[in-house]
Chain A
Amino acid sequence: MAGMDGGSGGAVAPPSLPGAQLLKQGAEARVYRGRFLGKSTIVKERFPKRYRHPVLDEKLTKRRTAQEVRSILRCRKAGISAPVVYFVDYTTNCIFLEEITDSITIREHITSTQASGRSTETLYGLADRIGQILAKMHDEDVVHGDLTTSNMLLVGEEDGKPGKLVLIDFGLSYISALPEDKGVDMYVLEKAFLSTHPNTEALFQRLLKSYIAASKKAPAVIKKLDEVRLRGRKRSMVG
């Protein structure tokens, strides 16, 4: 099933959802849109990576599928927005998720705001809400593992009216209470954020500030974030 159409982006539906349309092909998963039991549904199908040893590949695919579902459920229980999980098929490694309709990624939102020439200050409210939702997620000991502005969806944001934030793509997530793990989570976001969106240092600082204000555990996390940043700059890099 997988591997045959890799990269070509053909209209191949996942076996368990006839008629579905391929939406995106990422590094390890194909994302389809279709209808499942009458509902608008996103199917995320993890396909085998042929470069990996088959035993390792199988383990990673299973683990990531399970982690994705587990962390979504944990977030939802804590009142953090994430798509509803409709169904999981562990034989084809497919997750059936609620489609967040009329959403755009935060990445698209920031990019279009910048392209339209509006000041990034108009995004400060959004940065505040991202900081808050991440603080809440970390307080539940969910470490996302792949925080980027593409892995956050925004619904119904209009001038003056704040939209709803939804977190997605939990495949690399895991449960940990360690400030180090949460610090690295924020480090990954910082790098992705600043490299995807030029000239947003102040915006990201705003996000961090709101993260700190929203969580009692934040100081320990920020301390680790500082350490990880410093490690990058100090690594000896011999050879």
Chain B
Amino acid sequence: MTIVIGFEGSANKIGIGIVKDGEVLSNPRRTYITPPGQGFLPSETARHHRGAILTVLREALDEARLKPSDIDCVAYTKGPGMGAPLVTVALVARTVAQLWGKPLVGVNHCIGHIEMGRLITGANNPTVLYVSGGNTQVIAYSERRYRIFGETIDIAVGNCLDRFARVIKISNDPSPGYNIEQMAKKGKQYVELPYTVKGMDVSFSGILSFIEEAAHKMLSSGQCTAEDLCFSLQETLFSMLVEITERAMASLWLSGGPDCNLRLQEMMGVMCEERGARLFATDERFCIDNGAMIAQAGWEMFRVGQITELPDSWITQRYRTTWR
């Protein structure tokens, strides 16, 4: 029996989760929410995490009904992410590991998402579309390691959605992506937007500059509504994502993938059905950044002896997804 506690704080969420051999014992989390039209800044986000982390830690232990001595290993997000929040959370993880006398494991955030996806879906060697604020990657496990097949050549899809939300002043509460999804449901008219697939890669910057340029004109002239724009943006972005996932699968013959937006899941479902593949989607509790995913990846690494020694327990803002 192995129990791992995981600390995640690479972006605007601070989460701590405890995992015992594939079972999530607790997974509390807090989100730093900024006003509409504003993104989150590193130092303010770090301050938020500093203020919340000990409360969240208490909750994680209480909910799991565990004492520190029951824990076998402390996992934390090594990167990628924002520097200041990463440092804050790593510092606390390092401190408790020393206080409790437990080994540390530094985890790649993206691998955390994938390992969590594998755990709750039971998918073995999936092709994963990994989409978040800063990442857009199609990752598959091939030749005994995770490899990136397709990715964005400029900005991430989450970044594109966030910046779009700022352009047309959509609220950040609970998240821009969630509000765009709700508005998109009311959109009726499909507005053509740039669609850029290059090999297995995608590019979103053209869509963003088109929207920044044209959105206000289209809205004020009554050519379309904000809901129509949300709808069209989603249809375009997600089609591109499904397309590169399918292209990766066509070269691999595997399937899978975690993400939350229901329309994206629906589109993936249709594509997989046509290919005779199986779609696994993870639900909201796990595809939003959380501590349990770091604990789960840490659990896998701890089991094969991948410990991070104290002098190596730094963080890094950029971290390519490979795990050899």
Contacts and interface: CB of A to CB of B under 8 A. Distances in A.
Contacts of B251: 196
A231 B155 CA distance: 10
A235 interface: yes
Contact of B80 (A8, A147, A172, A236): A236
B220 to A, nearest CB: 24
Contacts of A7: 274-276
Given A172-B198, A195-B149, A237-B79, 8 more contacts: A6-B275, A27-B246, A49-B243, A50-B274, A146-B199, A188-B200, A191-B199, A236-B317
B202 to A, nearest CB: 11
Interface string A221-239: 0000000100111111111
A56 B317 contact: no
Interface string A1-40: 0010011100000000000000000111000000000000
B317 to A, nearest CB: 6
A167 interface: no
Interface string A49-89: 11111011001100000000000000000000000000000
A155 interface: no
Given A148-B199, A191-B199, A236-B80, A50 B270 contact: yes
Interface string B197-227: 1111100000000000000000000000000
A234 B316 CA distance: 11
Given A52-B267, A192-B199, A237 B153 contact: no
Interface in A111-153: 145-148
How many residues of A sit at the interface, in one of the four size bands?
Answer: 35 or more
8 contacts: A7-B274, A27-B243, A49-B239, A56-B192, A146-B198, A146-B199, A184-B153, A237-B319
A187 B153 contact: yes
B250 A239 contact: no
How many residues of B sit at the interface, in one of the four size bands?
Answer: 35 or more
Interface in B80-109: 80-82
A51 B270 contact: yes
Given A27-B243, A148-B199, A56 B271 contact: no
Interface in A201-239: 228, 231-239
B158 A147 contact: no
A235 B289 contact: no
B37 interface: no
A100 B50 CA distance: 65
A236 B110 CA distance: 13
A147 B197 CA distance: 12
Interface SS of chain A: helix, strand, loop or mixed?
A: loop
Given A191-B199, A228-B153, A238 B82 contact: yes
A106 B168 CA distance: 48
Contacts of A27: 243, 246-247, 249-250
Contact of B151 (A146, A192, A232): A232
A198 B145 CA distance: 13
B318 A51 contact: no
A238 B80 contact: yes
Contacts of A192: 199-200
A31 B158 CA distance: 35
Nearest to B274: A6
A175 B319 CA distance: 35
Contact of B235 (A8, A26, A49, A56): A56
Interface string A174-201: 0000000000110111011001101000
B27 interface: no
B318 A3 contact: no
A56 B147 contact: no
Given A53-B190, A231-B153, A237-B319, A188 B199 contact: yes
Nearest to B135: A237
Given A172-B197, A238-B81, A51 B275 contact: no
Contacts of B132: 239
B242 interface: yes
Contact of A235 (B134, B143, B235): B134
A239 B135 contact: yes
Contact of A51 (B11, B249, B271, B276): B271
Interface string B243-280: 10011011100000000000000111111001110000
